[in-house]
Each structure stands twice: as structure tokens, then as C-alpha cells.
Amino acid sequence: MVELYAWDLSTPDGLCGVTDSRAAAIGHVTDALRKAEDGTRGVVRRVALSPSGRPVYIDLGPIARARREDKTGAIIWEPW
């Protein structure tokens, strides 16, 4: 079974994506947060394809959350 990870940021333009690599999902969030405004948050969630055959992902829950620190711009990861 292939593991899938969805990632997204709390930005007005709604940056998001899906990958089969946990490391890639974390990398996408990290890269996007480096370019984002202070206070922006991101999340990586484990997902699965719906067995209905429709192109829908089932959210299996978050695995990590990150935020861009207001004062320093540092990316802070919080394991879930």
C-alpha cells in the first residue's frame, strides 16, 4: 500500500499538494513557510484515496504541524 501525504498552508492563495513521500511533504511546507508572512502555519496529514473510485482523499489525520516564528522567521515544527 502506498502512503500518501497532503500538505497545506494557512495562506490566502491556499498552497497545498499531495505526495507519496513524507520527507517531500515536510520539505514543501518548510520551503513555502520560508517565503510566507510571519505567523503562517502549515500541516502535513496522512491521506488515502477513497475506495469509491472518485478522486477524493480521506484524511487520516495530521502527522506534523509547523509555523513561521513572528520575531525570527524561524520554521518551528511540532510533531503530532
Convert the pLDDT of each residue in 9-38 to its tens digit.
988 888 999 999 999 999 999 999 999 888
Judged against a pLDDT cut of 80, whether residue 79 lies above it is answered with no
Convert the pLDDT of each residue in 47-72 to its tens digit.
999 998 888 999 999 999 999 998 88
State the pTM of this model: 0.88
Query: CB–CB of 73/80 below 8 Å?
Result: no
What H or E segment, with its residue span, contains residue 41? strand 41-49
- CA 69 – CA 75 distance, rounded (Å): 6
- CA 42 – CA 33 distance, rounded (Å): 7
Q: How confident is the model at residue 44 (pLDDT cuts 50, 70, 90)?
A: very high
Classified as helix, coil or strand, 32 is: helix
Query: CB–CB of 6/44 below 8 Å?
Result: yes
- Amino acid 68: pLDDT: 92
